[in-house]
Amino acid sequence: MTDHARGSDAFGIRALSGMADGVIHATTTWRIDRYDADQTEWVASRTGLASPQSQDFIRVGVTPYLTTEQTGNAILQAGWARVLANLTAVPAATAVLDATHTRIGAGNGSTAINATTDTDLSAAAGSTNRWFQLVSGAPTVGGTIPKTCAWSASFASADGNFAWNEFGIDNGTASGNTVTAPLLNRALLTTSTKALGQTWVATATTSWT
């Protein structure tokens, strides 16, 4: 296989929300691992899988040609409402963000975030502008203070082929191009454009303090 360089970049924003008698800090680091079309084709042929996932690339020893990490998000009003509902059962607790009820969404929109009113990504309708990918497995919970929760989703060859300018986590149960309420958070980040044939793995690690 052709050798590839690997790079990373980062910038930081922090989202704050005053609640009760203190302040809750919540921010998300978005990591994008990129595998090009040749890498994807090679892993598919090696494993016999039409759409290899992140663990399949790792299993056969293929590393991303580029990895970027960027930090920033706003926890949306609907997201806080879901967190508190599941904490207090007021109103009755609903679906949690587990392996079968969580998607990572990417879109090419760039409209400014309004944490009070945003309920969706700003990208126009259709799969050429937005895509929500079901996560690959159960979230990973770790850390002490801050406590972290990480979800990962593999966008296959035909998925998410547009400029990735915004991200969010929603409560969907199957991959698609429309949001499933609630949208937990939203971030405006600058990455690059995913092309047909490539596999990109998005990992969202949210820290709570």
DSSP 17-39: EEETTEEEEEEEEEEEEEE-HHH
Q: What is the pLDDT of residue 94?
A: 74
Per-residue pLDDT 10s for the chain (209 aa) are 444 434 333 333 334 444 445 567 789 999 999 999 999 999 999 999 999 999 999 999 999 999 999 999 999 999 999 888 888 877 776 788 999 999 999 999 999 999 999 999 999 999 999 999 999 999 999 988 779 999 999 999 999 999 999 999 999 999 999 999 999 999 999 889 999 999 999 999 999 87
Q: What is the pLDDT of residue 131?
A: 98
Q: What is the pLDDT of residue 87?
A: 82
pTM above 0.85, yes or no: yes
Q: What is the pLDDT of residue 88?
A: 86
Q: How many CB atoms lie within 10 A of CB 43?
A: 21
* DSSP per-residue codes, 61-120: TPPPSEEEEEE--EE-HHHHHHHHHHHH-SS-----SSTTS-EEEEES--PPP-TTT--S
Of 159, 185, 129, the residue nearest 52 (C-alpha) = 159
Q: Which residue has the tokens 């990962």?
A: 152
